[in-house]
Amino acid sequence: MGRSPTVTCVHTSATSAELLDHLRTALGQDGVITDPDVLPGYQRDMMPLAPYGTPLAVVLPRSTEQVQAVVRACARHRVPIVPRGAGSGLSGAANAVDGCVVLVTTRMNAIVEVDPDNRLAVVEPGVVNLDLRDAVEKHGLFYPPDPSSYDWCTIGGNLSTNAGGLCCVKYGVTTDSVLGMRVVLADGEVLDTGRRTVKGVAGYDLTKLFVGSEGTLGVITRATLALRPLPQAPGTLVAAFGSTGAAGAAVARVVREGLVPSLMEIMDATSIQAVEAHLKTELGAGRGSAALLLCQSDSGGEAARRELAAIERICADAGATLAHTTFDAAEGAMLLTARRAVLTALETYGAWMTDDVCVPRTKITELIAGCARISDEVGLRVAVVGHAGDGNMHPTIVYDPTSTDEFDRATRAFNDILELGLALGGTITGEHGVGKIKRDWLAREIGPVGLRAHRAIKAALDPDNLFNPGSMFTMD
Ligand SMILES: Cc1cc2nc3c(=O)[nH]c(=O)nc-3n(C[C@H](O)[C@H](O)[C@H](O)COP(=O)(O)OP(=O)(O)OC[C@H]3O[C@@H](n4cnc5c(N)ncnc54)[C@H](O)[C@@H]3O)c2cc1C
């Protein structure tokens, strides 16, 4: 499982020693790790399928200037750089390639500024998502992007993967909350993109280019983020359905009627059963539920009551066997905990690998049915949980990590689900990114012209293929 992709890395042991000297001079001894016992902790992210290599060193810069020094030294020695935040990624995008320098941003974790009057924050890339959310909440403000890993993933990682989360249905993905960025380019120069103003159309939108670029174009060292007023405490609705078709029909009607909950999640029967067993609670599966919908409204007061009442009516019309709305914060949090517990619950059966296809919201039912078929074909448990409000589904395959046969069957299921997602008019990734596992799939989704445009952008900004080579796509 530890295969590493080919990289254009031409250094010898003499040049490696010289590079390490340069890095230690720039960052200090404690900023450069070469201990073979420590390096494995930085070799890979959380996706078991993705190849990874062995880095020459891990560096932990504290400032943009130190990042510039690392980039210049690596460029001179033609040693690739793999930027890394917390390593919580699910595509192998932060996985090391042989002989690279892994540039970890966790020491650059300052919240530089919170400006309540202009509703923005300026942060370094190593700030943990939850720390930013907590910090701005003290000012009555809200940073929406909320990946489920929010208590340990970094803003730099979120920007680079264009991370989503549970609240995307109302507030969009990371790119919708970014105003500007500071990026160290392949020649060590600093590029400032974007603005601090609400509007601004000067030049190409380079900010959006770097969002989702998965560390292939430069190192983000600072970001200016747009904040919103803190929403009201949400009301929560849970609805159980006897068939996924009924749940899918309810989702489609919520969308069609223009209702915009702040969260709309779906769990299939396998997810429900796993969570019930894990949390020792009753979510509706005992009554034969095939799917659960979980919705929240943070519109506050009467508006939230009206919104959830309308959704509850739609669920009932679609044949829900149970629909319950609560404005009790503890009960709402308990229901959300059940949704967030799916992956942990599945771990009680084995290791998991999770897909990230996004399909038109009218196709969610077909996707869930297709996953059940794939589960039967490969003989492995596949649980589907996802962001029903935007069609981004996470079919999660459970396998025995000690069995090569099960790993191979899980890999087959993973790819069959990507195939299914594309066949349903969807995309191979709604939020986790391409990384090192979906390169071929990206080429397929965007086609030869799209790939040529990607390569042209990469060649213009990173002509020596310094940053994260072999991730997302190859240059040949
Ligand atoms: C349990 C679990 C739940 C998850 N739930 C969600 C979810 O709901 N939504 C979602 O979108 N994702 C989710 N993820 C995936 C992951 O947490 C996100 O992709 C997250 O944005 C990665 O952040 P990170 O700091 O861990 O980045 P890493 O994994 O370290 O890196 C991710 C990518 O960003 C690049 N990168 C990191 N920092 C920089 C930088 N400063 N400059 C340039 N490139 C950089 C890396 O090279 C790599 O390509 C989940 C993961 C887990 C394990």
| Third-level CATH fold of 235-423 | Vanillyl-alcohol Oxidase; Chain A, domain 3 (3.40.462)
The highest-level CATH class for domain 111-229 is alpha beta
pTM of the model: 0.95
Q: In a 10 Å sphere around its CB, with 0-12 CB exposed, 13-18 middle and 19+ buried, how is residue 177 labelled?
A: buried
Q: Which amino acid is at 125?
A: P
94 lines ligand 1 (CB under 6 A): yes
The highest-level CATH class for domain 13-107 is alpha beta
Per-residue confidence in pLDDT tens, the chain, 476 aa: 333 344 445 456 767 999 999 999 999 999 999 999 999 999 999 998 899 999 999 999 999 999 999 999 999 999 999 999 999 999 999 999 999 999 999 999 999 999 999 999 999 999 999 999 999 999 999 999 999 999 999 999 999 999 999 999 999 999 999 999 999 999 999 999 999 999 999 999 999 999 999 999 999 999 999 999 999 999 999 999 999 999 999 999 999 999 999 999 999 999 999 999 999 888 765 567 999 999 999 999 999 999 999 999 999 999 999 999 999 999 999 999 999 999 999 999 999 999 999 999 999 999 999 999 999 999 999 999 999 999 999 999 999 999 999 999 999 999 999 999 999 999 999 999 999 999 999 999 999 999 999 999 999 999 999 999 999 999 98
Question: Please, what sign has the CA dihedral across residues 346, 350, 354, 360?
Answer: negative
Q: Which amino acid is at 179?
A: L
Contacts of 198 (CB under 8 A, 6+ apart): none
465 lines ligand 1 (CB under 6 A): no
What would the 3-class secondary structure string for 271-325 be? HHHHHHHHHCCCCCHHHCCCEEEEEEECCCHHHHHHHHHHHHHHHHHCCCCEEEE
Contacts of 12 (CB under 8 A, 6+ apart): none
194 lines ligand 1 (CB under 6 A): no
Q: So where are the chain's domains?
A: 13-107, 111-229, 235-423
Nearest to 1 by CA among 403, 414, 471: 403
Asked whether the domain spanning 235-423 has the same topology as the one spanning 111-229, the reply is no
What span, in angstroms and rounded, lies between the C-alpha atoms of 44 and 89?
9
125 lines ligand 1 (CB under 6 A): yes
232 lines ligand 1 (CB under 6 A): no
Ligand 1, from 146, 161, 357, 392: best to mutate by most atoms within 8 Å of Cβ?
Answer: 161
Task: State the Cα angle at 261 between 127 and 329, rounded to 5°.
Answer: 70
